[in-house]
Amino acid sequence: MDAGLTAEQVEIRRTLRELLHKRCGPEELRAAVDTPAGHDPVLWTVLSDQLGLPGLALPERFDGVGGSVTELALAAEELGRALAPTPFLATAVLAAPLVLALGTDAQRADLLPRIAGGCLTCALAAPTACLALTGDNRGDWAGGGRAGGVQARRSGAEWLLYGEVDRVLDGHSADLLLVPAHTGGYARSRTDLFLVPSDAPGLVRTRLTTLDQTRPLARVQLRNVRAELLGTGDADVPAALSLLGASAATVLACEAVGAAARALELTVDHTRQREQFGRPIASFQAVKHRLADVYVQVEAARSAAYYAAWAAGATGATDRGEPPAGGESPARGESPGRGEPPARGEFPARGEPPARGEPPARGEFPARGESPARGESPARGKPLAGGEPPARGESPTRGEPPARGEPPARKAPPTPHDPIAPLALAQALEALRVASAEAIQLHGGIGFTWEHGAQLYFKRAAGDELLFGPVHRLRGYAAEVARLFEAAEVTV
């Protein structure tokens, strides 16, 4: 892993930080969240024209920059520092990848250039459960063929949508809605994605009062609304949404790290200026310890978020904006960009973990961060009896080892899921919560006032954890998918 940033990535970060410093200060931020749209359209136009922010991860043939999730994550870190209210997350992170992966050639040619140019804002009208961050997304979050969620039915050559979705990010102001809906009734239920323009008859959108004003949410009601099917209708939409959830979690983790780092900077600056007993309070040992603890937690979260961004940007063509053949999502239960396992004794390609069950070369240690394959001794490379480690207190059976057999059958995850990004998001949300809470405490009496900016970071921490978490569920589902606590039969 190369932890350094490229010259282009450094320039993206520097330019975006300077622009946000000029155009998204505390006064501009408060003015933007009070507008009906919940963001500053002029700022979004500048971000689109000067930096190409909406098209960072879109291919150049669609007027994009041709970057990857890594560039999106770096941009999100700077937006998080300023708490900039923009349609970036809803449009560039959640909606554009779905159009790129599932849309037909005509839909991509029509929508993606307008998204990349900042002329078209989008929103994913679905609960965050569809992203498979805290649980399987093949449940009833969109109705499951029963009452509730959003249902789609044919009316001649058209599709009609009926239902309601709460807490849609930028749903009140987006020009185009991507709506997952169930089709086929209960017996043949499946989930498809539909495109709904903002001026469609029967569409009712209401902005909600939220804890975090910089993250506007809306309630979307569809009353027999005409919609266009995204793609050809044969893609595995829950699998595509699960893959989207991994990249979105990476971007959100970097955004939370940026906000946490900025909250810590503001707190350190205040403690250096605030005097008590004739000396700055930053000189007191108790304050130093608290700030040092926050710094360690923020930097640990930054490392996790950067690793998730690097891994997401190195997984292959899918994450770099090249959809699978035919514009369809990967087959159910498969991950994108995974090729043949490397030869024994060779390191895997950048961003590729070694294939499950393939040990390193005899006498060699496994790659850093990788545990030896199940049933293999890291020191000698010989399988233990039965291919499983011995029970505690017992020694492995001596003599000729049995023939290597297939590992015990395991239940595959219902959808493709990479635990790296949710774990990075959990650590980043936790760091933001701690940093913002300490900011309020160490700012003293002014920290919890409406006029001060510390409360905005605390609200972002609480709002994001309610919307995409909580932290313990992010970690719990990641452990479940990784089979961390799966019981295995021991053969002696």
What are the residues whose beta carbons fall under 8 Å from the beta carbon of 315, sequence distance 6 or more? 335, 336, 337, 338, 351, 352
pTM of the shown model: 0.79
- What pLDDT shows up at residue 136? 86
Contact call for residues 8 and 68 (beta carbons, < 8 A): no
The bridge status of strand 217-229 relative to strand 176-183 is unpaired
Question: Strand 158-169 and strand 122-124: pairing?
Answer: unpaired
Q: How far apart are CA 161 and CA 327, in angstroms?
A: 24
pLDDT of residue 391: 47
For residues 173 and 153, give the distance between their C-alpha atoms in angstroms, rounded to a whole number: 26
Residue 177, burial from CB neighbour count under 10 angstroms (0-12, 13-18, 19+): buried
Q: 21 is written with which tokens? A: 């410093």
Give the per-residue pLDDT at 203. Answer: 96
What backbone phi and psi angles, to 5 degrees, belong to 474?
-60, -45
- Please give the pLDDT value at position 148: 59
Backbone dihedral angles phi then psi of residue 226, each to the nearest 5 degrees: -70, 135
One pLDDT digit (tens) per residue for the chain, 492 residues: 566 788 888 999 999 999 999 999 999 999 999 999 999 999 999 999 989 999 999 999 999 999 999 999 999 999 999 999 999 999 999 999 999 999 999 999 999 999 999 999 999 999 999 999 998 887 666 655 455 589 999 988 899 999 999 999 999 999 999 999 988 766 677 899 999 999 999 999 999 999 999 999 999 999 999 999 999 988 999 999 999 999 999 999 999 999 999 999 999 999 999 888 989 989 999 999 999 999 999 999 999 999 999 988 876 434 444 443 334 444 434 444 434 444 433 434 444 444 444 444 444 444 444 444 444 444 444 444 444 444 444 444 444 444 444 444 434 444 446 789 999 999 999 999 999 999 999 998 888 888 888 999 999 999 999 999 899 999 999 999 888 887 766 676
Q: Helix, strand, coil % (nearest 5) of the chain?
A: 45, 10, 45
> How big is the chain by its Cα radius of gyration, in Å?
24
- Spatial separation of the C-alpha atoms in residues 73 and 124, rounded to whole Å: 19
Q: Show Cβ contacts of residue 483 under 8 Å, excluding neighbours closer than 6 positions.
A: 410
- Rounded distance between C-alpha atoms, residue 44 and residue 54, angstroms: 9
Collect all residues with Cβ–Cβ distance below 8 Å to 318 and sequence separation of at least 6. 101, 243, 324, 330, 336, 337
> What pLDDT score was predicted for residue 137?
85
